[in-house]
Every structure is written in structure tokens, then in C-alpha cells.
Structure 1
Amino acid sequence: MLPYLLRRAASGLVLVVLVTFITYWLLSFSIDGVVANVLGPAASPEAVEAKKEQLGLDRPFLVQYADWFAGAVRGDFGVSYFTSEPVSTAVAARLGVTLSIVSVALVLTVVISVVLGVLAASRAGAVDRLAQSVSLLGVLLPNLLIAIVLVVVFAINLRLLPATGFTPFSENPARWAASITIPVIVLVINGIANMTAQIRGTMIGELRKDYVRTLRTCGVPTWSIVYKHALRNAAAPALVVLSMEFLTMLGGALIIENVFALPGFGSFAFNSSIQGDIPVIMGITVFSVVLVVGVNLLIDLINSWLNPKARVY
């Protein structure tokens, strides 16, 4: 297992280098516009050239990238052109907000999807129709529409939850839970739609296999067949969907954070991209790639634990 982990870590490092190189190369075509944004619309061409020299943006592209990469290896991603805030501090703070929402939504999605998917596959009838209805609604209803409806009902009409804003958990756990409730519900509804359908379909396939019939003829209890054997074997495809759902939720956070005025990773990335804040964009790129690689590696480890046949050495 260790050689496999080392290979995955090495491939992840190569991916970071490739993605950051391409991103920096694309950003190099808009340097004049970025500097103009920093100085303001009234900046003269002479002021723009002077600012480019001050920021080191007048150097050859490869020199700029090598300098940035050397700093990134040391953990120094530079400072924002617009706020002078260290990039690592700014990105980590915003990422913490987003992950606090996405992680809660992901846990709830897994629990609800497994329960609905397993019950739908093993019992059929009304439970199966309910699971399919939930999946259909989650697919048809866009996140933005769900968010608006929930805000109108629970925040404006009933006044049970705040409509906007975020309270850190360390400051007030109760207010933190209230501030993320509606965003979490929005993400969970869409997540359940994808995972429930996957688990239901995979479980139906597993319960029709020969080993299940053999276990039943041997007198093994139904609950043991469903939860100890079929669900374990059906976990691999569900884990793949889970990793994709995590990335989908991160992408959906862009809309959610703007709707609820949350100081998260998605809205921060969006605003930085509009401004052309190169150090921040590069820091966001690194954090995003590392997060994707880490999640995929974790899914592989969980899959190998659940299914020894899937272990790669």
C-alpha cells in the first residue's frame, strides 16, 4: 500500500505543477489589465509600466513562474495585489468556511442516501417510489431556486434562520449551526438526488447476484445480507460518486456563498478572478488541486478497506 500511496502523491505533485504552470501562462496574457485594475482606470501608461516593474511582472514568463513556484514550495504564495493580505492566510480562512458547510452537507448526504438507497433496493414499494421521487426533484430543481425558496420561507416569513452571514463555530456554535442550515439543505437536496440513485441501482444489482441467493438458502438473516455483504460490495461505485459529489458541492458553493453572503472559498475565488489578483488566483489553484488529489486518495483508501480485492500495492 505504501508504494501505491507514494505513486499517487508523486502524480499529484506532477498535476499541481502542470495546472499551476498552465494557469500562470494564461494569466500572463492579461498582465496589463491586471495592473490597470490595481492602479484604477485613471492610471497612465507610464504608471502601469512602473507598477509592472515594481511587481516583477515585466520579467520573462518562465522567470516569473520559477520565482513563484520557489516561494510556493516554501509556503510563501505572496500577497494580494488589492488587500496586501498574505495569500495563504486569506485562502485558508475562506476555505475553512466552505469546508464547514460542504463537510456537514456531505455527511448528511451520505447518511440519507445510503438509508434511502438501501431501503428502496431491498423493500421496493412505497419506499422505492419515495427514493426515486426525491432523486428526480433534486435533479430537476436548481440550487438557486431552492435557496431562494428556503430563504423566503424560513428566513423572511418564519424568521427561524438568518438569511445571510456566517458565524464561526469557535465564536458561537448555535449561531454557526443556524448560519449554515439553509446552505447545507440546498447542497444536500442535490447531493441526495445523485447518490441515492447510484446506491439504489448498485444495490439492486448486488441483491440479484448468485452469492446473495446462496446466503439466503444458508439461512443468513436478510439484514446481514443487505448490510454486511451487498452494501459492502456496492460501496465502490458509491464512493466514486461521493468523490464527484464533493467536487460538485465545492463548485455549487460559488452560487450558495454569493446568495447567502458567506465569506467562503467560492465567492473569494470568483471575486479574485474578476479582479485578476494573480497571487490569489495561483494560491486558490494550488489549494484546489491539492484538495482534489487528497479527496481522491482518501476515497481509494476507504475503498481498499471496504473491499480488499480493490487494494493496489
Structure 2
Amino acid sequence: MATFRLVVRRLLSSTPLLFLVSALTFVLVSLVPGDPARTIVGQHATVEQYETVRRQLGLDEPLPVQYWHWLVRVFHGDLGTSLFSGEPVTSVLNNRLPVSLSLITAGTIVSGVLGVLLGLLSARRGGLLVKAVDVLALVGLAVPAFWFALVLIAVGAVRLRWFPVTGYVPLADDPVEWGRSLVLPVLSLSLSAVAIIAKQTRDSVLDTFGRDFIRVMQANGFSRRSILYRHVLRNAALPLVTVLGVVLVSLLAAAVFVETVFAMPGLGSLTQQATVQHDIPVIQGAVLYITILVVLVNLLVDLAYSRLDPRVRAA
């Protein structure tokens, strides 16, 4: 029951965020240079043709009125239609969503597993491994994901020819090719995340080992392995869960560039294309989907916190 109340409370508190993000997106998109009506009719169209298209698209109305009409449609489950393709925005986004979810989910798993393992090893063994984790964290934060993606393409796809250069194969079509099409994008997406998680894991484990109750257990003869896996990891998991949530949100942002570099038909590349075309309904729908994903990530973090820390459940 407490978990259900937590979910309801978090979802209700996130509702104003959805309104705020959608309104800001509408305003910011309107400030981007470009006119979709002019793009559709071409540069040699007459004024009458241009005005007719603007009126059909609703672009002749004031910006607050356009936003209100969009908001009303959203409450009826309609995100509108693309200004260029004429397809329903919901269909376009749903076709692209599995690609982004595959990329982000795989990136999160790889980042979490490699980061935690590397952090545990550096915490247990110390020495050069600690310095290696610090260097990896510095490189991961300094190197942009799209630059690392280009390096991976040059080495893994062009020189070695182990993986495809670009594109995406659906899981239902060919599971093996689906995995191969994700390897390079996931690696490029995970570099900085692995570094951040590894450093946070190492620091959290070392901090927990320095607490009094751990010293008492060591004095009573408990093995270091038993203390690590039964007690230290549980206490170190709290800050690690927070970092994982932040990393997952950052992967959503980095996926825009990675999908563009690897020509993957996901939400990120769709948003970039729609921004260039000034396709407002598609941009609004894509941002709404991404915001909902961020809200769900924060909800999962809160649920993990309440599971790991009884004080959160009591609060």
C-alpha cells in the first residue's frame, strides 16, 4: 500500500512538469528559424498558396492558441499529424520507440554491470586500478559520445568490419543482426556512464568500509568478502541508485547524437530531423515521450530507494 501511494504521489507531482516542458518546447520551437509552410509549398509558390497552407496547418493562429489546440488534442489521446508526412504522430513515435528503448536499455545494462564490477575491483585491490578508474572517469566525461562513436565506426566497422557502419535491424527480424547493430552504438553511449558508475561505486564502497559498524564486524572475525557482499554493497547501493538514475537520463540525451551518427531510426534522430524541418507536432510528441521516460526513471529510482532504505518507506 505504501508503494502504491508513493507511485501515485510521484505521478501526480510530475504532472506540472509535463505541462511546463511541453509549453517551453512549443515556445522554443517557434523561435527556431524556419517556416514549415514555406518548406512545403516551396520558394516559387504564390502568396495565396502559401497562406492557404499556413491556414490549413493552423500556423496563422497566435502561439497560445496553437498550444491550446494541441493540449486539447493530447487530452483526447491525439498528438496530431506530421506537417510533412501527414502520418499520425503517435504512429510515428511508436514505430521509433523500440529502437531508442533497445539502445538505452542495453546501454544502461552494459554501463551498470561494467561500472559496478570495475568499481568493486578498484575498491578491493586499490593501487594502479584506482588510478585507472580515475583516468577512465576523466576521459569518459571529456570525450563526447558522438566523437567516440566516430572512432568506433572507423575501427570496428570500417577497418575490422566486425559490425555494420549504420542502421538498425529489428529484433523480430534477426536477433543476431539486431545485437550486432547495437554493439557500436551501445559502446559509444556507455563510455562516460561506465566511468561515472565505476568511480561512484568505488567511492561508496570505500566510504562504507570506513564506518564504525564495519570495523566492529572486522574485529569480530567476519571475512572481508562476507562483509562486502552482505553489508557494504547494500549500504553503498543508495548513492549508486541515484547515480544510475542520473546516468539513465543522460543516456536519453546522448542517444540523440548517437542515433544520428549511426543512422538509427529512433526518437533521437526523429527529434533532430523534425527540428530541422520545423515539424512542431512531431517535436512536441517526441519531447512528451522523452519527458515521460524521464518521469518513469525517477519513479524507478524512488521505488529502489524505498526498497533499500526502510526510512524512505516510513516517510
TM over 0.5: yes
Q: Partner of 2:82 in structure 1? A: 80
* Structure 1, unaligned runs of 5 or more: none
- Matching residue's letter, 1:176: W
Of 139, 142, 145, which aligns to 2:144?
Answer: 142
Deviates more, 1:239-248 or 1:49-58: 49-58
Q: Report the counterpart of residue 35 of structure 1 in structure 2.
A: 37
Query: Contact conserved, 1:232 with 1:307, CA < 8 A, in 2?
Result: no
Q: Say which of 49, 53, 62 aligns to 2:51.
A: 49
Point out where structure 2 has 5 or more consecutive residues left out of the alignment. none
Question: Comparing 284-293 with 126-135, which one deviates more in the overlay?
Answer: 126-135
| Worse-matched range after superposition: 242-251 or 278-287 | 242-251
SS for the counterpart of 1:166 is coil
Alignment check: 8 A CA contact 1:165 1:261 kept: yes
Letter in 2 for 1:153: V
Which whole-Å CA distance do the structure 1 matches of 2:255 and 2:34 have between them? 30
Q: For residue 113 of structure 1, what is the amino acid of its counterpart?
A: G
Distance 1:52-1:29 versus aligned 2 partners, 3 A rule: farther
Which residue does the alignment assign to 1:232? 234
Letter in 1 for 2:22: T
8 Å CA contact 1:35–1:52 kept in 2: the answer is yes
* Change over 3 Å in CA distance of 1:29–1:163 after alignment to 2: closer
Change (3 A) 1:30 1:214: closer
How far residue 31 of structure 1 moved from its aligned partner, in angstroms, is: 9.8
Asked whether the 8 Å contact 2:34–2:278 carries over to 1, the reply is no
> Counterparts of 1:153 and 1:22 in 2: how far apart (Å)?
40
SS at structure 2 position matched to 1:234: helix
CA contact (8 A) 2:29 2:275 kept: no
1:129–1:30 CA distance, 2 compared to 1 (3 A): closer
What letter corresponds to residue 184 of structure 1 in structure 2?
V
Report the residue type matching 2:114 in the other structure. I
What letter corresponds to residue 257 of structure 1 in structure 2?
Answer: E
How many residue pairs are counted as aligned between the two chains? 313
Q: Which residue in the other structure is 2:293 paired with?
A: 291
Structure 1 position 218, deviation (Å): 2.5
| 8 Å contact from structure 2 (residues 14, 295) kept in 1 | yes
Give the conservation status (yes or no) of the 8 Å contact 2:200–2:240.
Answer: yes
Q: Does 1:193 align with 2:195?
A: yes
Kindly provide the amino acid, as one letter, of the partner of residue 45 in structure 1. V
- For 1:274, the equivalent position in structure 2 comes to 276
Aligned residue type for 1:183: P
Q: Over the residues paired in the alignment, what is the CA RMSD in angstroms?
A: 2.0
What letter matches 1:105 in structure 2? G
2:258 paired residue number:
256
In the superposition, the TM-score normalised over structure 2's length comes to 0.92
Question: Following TM superposition, by how much is the alpha carbon of 1:284 offset from its aligned partner in structure 2, in angstroms?
Answer: 1.0
Determine if contact 2:252/2:290 at 8 Å carries over to the other structure: no
- Give the corresponding residue for 1:93: 95
Partner-residue secondary structure (3-state), 1:85: coil
1:26 and 1:157 map into 2 onto residues whose CA distance is 42
C-alpha displacement at 1:32, in angstroms?
7.7
